[in-house]
Amino acid sequence: IMDQDGTVLLQSDHPEMAHLNIRNADTACLRCHGSFDYVNKMLVARQGTAEYRLADRPPQLAAFAPVAFANASWIVVVNTSEEEVVNALRRNLQQMVLVMGLLAAGCSLLAWTLYGNSRERRHAEEDAKHWQEKHHREQRLRLANEDVSRLHRQNTLILDSVMDGILGLDTDGRHTFVNPAAARMLGYDAAELIGKTSHTMLH
């Protein structure tokens, strides 16, 4: 816990740092911290990400954003090791590739099925009367809609069942799709996030 001017009010790992100012850090502090530049960045920028590394520890990545309540405001920081972030991104990418592969396979299967159905029906409709042709066209459209609906339900089930948050965005950054995991991470219902931007929801 730190004041805006850089004075440490509480440090659970190093209680002796209380009442010290990071801008006037002594040599004892700098044995663990190469510098406090990353903290200064958080105090000035108030929102964003920062990388830092403490002595004998792996590189860390911190995300920070302002939070206000009544007349008080804070900058909340969430940090983790850079390796964990990279691994999480790798897992997300692998899952996204799997989902896209399933979508592509489903679309290919649907296209092949529709093509086969269309070819067979076209031969049958050559000798049919006008009302029969109309009936067959309506039947093809109904089957196609059912296949698309089934594929949509399957894709939704896949996206809803993954543990990682997945957001679909349009070109303006508005949410077009939010799976339950992403909604839980952001602390909202999925329906509340549709049409909103992540920037808007953070404020």
Q: Alpha-carbon distance 31 to 29, whole Å?
A: 5
Q: Alpha-carbon distance 119 to 125, whole Å?
A: 10
For the chain, the average pLDDT equals 82
Q: Which two tokens stand for residue 94?
A: 């692998």
Give yes or no for residue 201 having a pLDDT over 70. Answer: no
In this prediction, residue 179 carries a pLDDT of 83
Confidence of residue 153 (pLDDT cuts 50, 70, 90): confident
- Could you tell me where the DSSP H helices lie in 80-174? 82-125, 130-161
Residues 6+ apart with CB under 8 A from 168: 175, 176, 177, 178
Give per-residue pLDDT as tens, 27-76: 777 778 878 888 888 888 889 988 888 878 888 888 889 888 888 888 88
Matching residue, tokens 């991104």: 89
CB atoms within 10 A of CB 145: 10
Identify which of 159, 164, 179 has the alpha carbon closest to the alpha carbon of residue 92: 164
The gap from C-alpha 90 to its chain's centroid, in whole angstroms, comes to 13
Residues 6+ apart with CB under 8 A from 73: 66, 67
The gap from C-alpha 170 to its chain's centroid, in whole angstroms, comes to 14
Give per-residue pLDDT as tens, 34-48: 788 888 888 888 899
Spatial strand order of the sheet with 48-52 comes to: 48-52, 60-69, 72-81
CB-side neighbour CA atoms (13 Å) of 1: 7
